[in-house]
Amino acid sequence: MKKIELEIVALSHSITQTHSYAVVLGEVNGLRRLPIVIGGFEAQAIAVALERMKPSRPLTHDLMKNFMLAFNIDLHEVIINDLQEGIFYSRLVCSTENETVEIDSRTSDAVALAVRFGCPIYTYDHILVSAGVVKGEEESEKRVVVTHDESVGDDLKKMTLKELEDLLNEVLEREDYIRAASIRDEINRRKGD
């Protein structure tokens, strides 16, 4: 089967499930999108890597990467290889100097590691056919969007710059990186004005 390369085009709150997030993977040089519902922890782990934030202590996926690198294991690619009853299944293709192995993984964890390693993410046509959606013509080209709760954004707009900077430090201490991204975006918007 021919592999189809995907890239992350969006990370947002899930429209279909409360307290969940969705990572949207888009077909490279194509119009199909693969939305995958993930948990808050995994969304945060992906957002931290996408936004190039440096947590004060390593997150689980950072620890995994550090462990792999310490033992000279490289992550070459992630393959979303199956879809059963609405659940995506993935494999990590890893190698050492002597061998290549495929390791079963939750798709959200596989994507979080792929972002950290900068490795490609693939799937197969039958998965895109059964679970994918086609991008609308009005959508812009390649973009990575980390979206945030609109009501939270309205609350941030009411705060002073000093209050925002204090809040940013507070949420970084709590390691709430998705909220930190919203606050950072508001601070940057104001400083750009």
pLDDT at position 185 = 74
| pLDDT attached to residue 70 | 96
Q: What is the pLDDT of residue 79?
A: 98
Instruction: List own/partner pairs for 64-68 with CB under 8 A and 24 or more apart.
Output: 64/113, 65/113, 65/116, 65/117, 68/94
Enter the DSSP assignment of 18: T
In b/e form, how buried is each residue of 100-137, taking b as 16+ CB within 10 angstroms? eeeeebebbbbbbbbbbbebbbbbbeebbeebbeebee
pLDDT for the residue numbered 176? 65
* Angle at which helices 60-70 and 40-50 cross, to 10°: 60
pLDDT for 83 equals: 93
- Which residue stretches of the chain are H helix? 40-50, 60-70, 107-117, 125-131, 150-157, 161-173, 177-192
Instruction: Tell me which residues of the chain have a pLDDT lower than 70.
Output: 14-19, 136-154, 172-181, 193
CB 147 within 8 A of CB 23: no
The residue behind tokens 């009005």 is: 138
Sort strands 133-134 and 32-38 into parallel, antiparallel or unpaired: antiparallel
Separation in Å, CA 161 to CA 33, 171, 183 = 37, 15, 10
Contacts (Cβ under 8 Å, ≥6 apart) of 75 = 65, 68, 92, 93, 94, 113, 114, 117, 119
Predicted local distance difference test score (pLDDT) of residue 149: 45
Would you list the domain boundaries of the chain?
3-146, 150-192
CATH number of 3-146: 3.10.690.10
pLDDT at position 17: 59
Q: CA-CA distances (angstroms) from residue 88 to 32, 34, 61, 82, 91?
A: 16, 10, 19, 6, 10
The model's pTM: 0.73
